[in-house]
Amino acid sequence: MHPRCDETPQWALLQGHYQARGRVLDLRCAFAEDAARFAHFSQQAPHVFADLSKNLWDRQAEALLLDMARACRLEHSRDAMFAGQAVNSTEGRAALHTLLRRPRGLALPGDEPFVAQALQEVHATLDAMLAFAEAVRADAQITDIVNIGIGGSDLGPHMAVRALQAHQLPGRRFHFVSNIDGHELAGVLAGLRPESTLFIVASKTFTTLETMANARSALDWFAAQGGQDVARHFVALTANVAKAAEWGMSRTFGFWDWVGGRYSLWSAIGLPIAIAIGAAGFRDFLAGAHAMDEHFRSAPLAHNLPVRLALLDIWYRNFLGLPSRCIAPYHAWLQRLPAYLQQLEMESNGKRVDSQGRALPMATAPVIWGEPGSNGQHAFFQLLHQGPDVQALEIIAVRDSTHGLAGHHQMLLANALAQAQALMQGRASGCGHRHFPGNRPSSFVLLDALTPASLGAYLALQEHRVFCSGSLWGINSFDQWGVELGKQLAQDLQPRLRTGDVAGLDGSTAGLLQRLAGVGGRAP
Ligand code: F6P
């Protein structure tokens, strides 16, 4: 067992450093005093450049954080994950999403006996899945692809398909149905014809209530519309192939229990991405992620971008007490990125006990939130500039655009730079309303272009960052027990909505249920 970050000698040193220097650090002075600050705190990793210099830390804080990571044996934890050890301790399994993007024939990163066989299965499934994706692309009759899935079976593919529109096969429409709220599925179905639609039912477990209810309704709609050939128009992506077969879905692409839901877009769950950008594009996506894996695995901690981001996260959360991180993508097609990162960070590290079940004495995952930056500027950036609390901010910008509209991209990038500049510099004014305190932090992440490879690298960076902060907090980042209780209670409440039975319920739930009773039976 490795020490948790709060059990290392560096923890008290960091607290001391925060009191002595961190608390009063002024970014404007820090840049004036250190001409090399940008060079020191910025870094090029595969496909991704990050400037971390406009953050409220100094070299000494970073050096202590690095020592803390070494004391926690972070590299050892990283190697255990890559090797396929059972790092998901509460479920007794590996977390091997990195294997999904590992090229064939490359030496294995450890000696766990099942990994070699697993890599063969990964490539066999990938080949079959990509061949199917190409067949769908070549099938001019299929114009609409509907992904039915939720959580990790929706957020990653949805985000990536939107992000990679410039690489998308023209003439196809992609729809994502996740919500059990029938308004979503009904709205999508209204624009479809059965003969030109492919439904993808994506669920690791193939038991998730929302997905199963939507799949059932899609099957019913298909039959009611006179649809022929379920096998041609429905495909299942799941680690529970037997269950999919019970649903009459004969075309299935599988994956494995060592792929966590929120890490699954590299597996068969990525089928919508593969249909959108083609087999070669999907392989580029995997290659970008693999390049970041190799960076994470081999770069020294001080020049390891996922590690540096995680250390900054811990500094902010545990020493400065920042409650949230705002994600501001300056690219309209990264609209779903904040939602994707919410699950990645908050489902992984939103935990109050360590992997031994001991209560943690410090805060863990921040609240992740955000919107594309341009829109956010006209909504919540007011709070970032002048609100009483400081929030962490991460700007993601893309150097090249693909639209060709004169001037737009310069305006967009100028705004991204200006927001970071304004937050840091502030502006003195005698009038309180117009006063900008400044000294507000931001990280600036830059991709050269929004391509399958750069997106793959960026997402792998985020996965590893979350793994690093989770490891340092002593958390198992790969389970999600916190989602269970609500699911169970819903099963109890659903029949009560029909009957109006409130026996044994608390006063509020009973009161609300009485107002809602009978709702399920009302005619549409
Ligand atoms: O309820 C949470 C969760 O288990 C997520 O972790 C997962 O991504 C999502 O539900 C969907 O699960 P499945 O792919 O099994 O339908």
Ligand 1 atom closest to 239 (CA): 15
Q: Which residues are catalytic?
A: 347, 378, 487
Locate 161 and state its tokens. 């398909």
Interval 199-213 mean pLDDT = 97
The amino acid sitting at 434 is R
Interval 11-16 mean pLDDT = 98
Q: How many percent of the chain have pLDDT more than 90?
A: 96
Pocket lining: 470 vs ligand 1, CB cutoff 6 Å = no
pLDDT in tens, 73-95: 999 999 999 999 999 999 999 99
If one residue of 147, 177, 204 were mutated to test the ligand 1 pocket, choosing by the most ligand atoms within 8 A of its CB, it would be: 204
Name the residue at shortest CA distance from atom 2 of ligand 1. Answer: 483
Pocket lining: 346 vs ligand 1, CB cutoff 6 Å = no
Pocket lining: 208 vs ligand 1, CB cutoff 6 Å = yes
- Region of 370 please: left (phi>0), alpha (psi -120 to 50) or beta: left
pLDDT band at 522 (very low <50, low <70, confident <90, very high): very low
Interval 25-34 mean pLDDT = 98
Interval 112-120 mean pLDDT = 93
Straight-line distance from the first to the last Cα atom of the chain, in angstroms, rounded to the nearest whole number: 57
Contact 327, 445 (CB under 8 A): no
pTM here is 0.97
Locate 416 and state its tokens. 């991204």
Count CB neighbours of 235 within 10 A: 23
Tell me the CA–centroid distance for residue 196 and ligand 1, in Å: 28
In this predicted structure, the answer to whether residue 99 has a pLDDT above a threshold of 50 is: yes
The amino acid sitting at 409 is H
In this predicted structure, the answer to whether residue 146 has a pLDDT above a threshold of 50 is: yes
- Find tokens 């490539």 and name the residue: 123
In this predicted structure, the answer to whether residue 1 has a pLDDT above a threshold of 80 is: no
In this predicted structure, the answer to whether residue 430 has a pLDDT above a threshold of 90 is: no
Interval 23-28 mean pLDDT = 98
Pocket lining: 204 vs ligand 1, CB cutoff 6 Å = yes
In this predicted structure, the answer to whether residue 521 has a pLDDT above a threshold of 80 is: no
If one residue of 237, 483, 487 were mutated to test the ligand 1 pocket, choosing by the most ligand atoms within 8 A of its CB, it would be: 483
Q: Quote the crossing angle between the two packed helices 182-189 and 209-224, to the nearest 10°.
A: 30
Pocket lining: 156 vs ligand 1, CB cutoff 6 Å = no
Pocket lining: 477 vs ligand 1, CB cutoff 6 Å = no
For residue 337, give every residue at least 6 positions away whose Cβ sits within 8 Å of its Cβ, in sequence order, or none.
159, 163, 327, 329, 370, 396
Ligand 1 atom closest to 155 (CA): 8
Interval 400-425 mean pLDDT = 97
* Confidence at residue 109, expressed as pLDDT on a 0 to 100 scale: 86
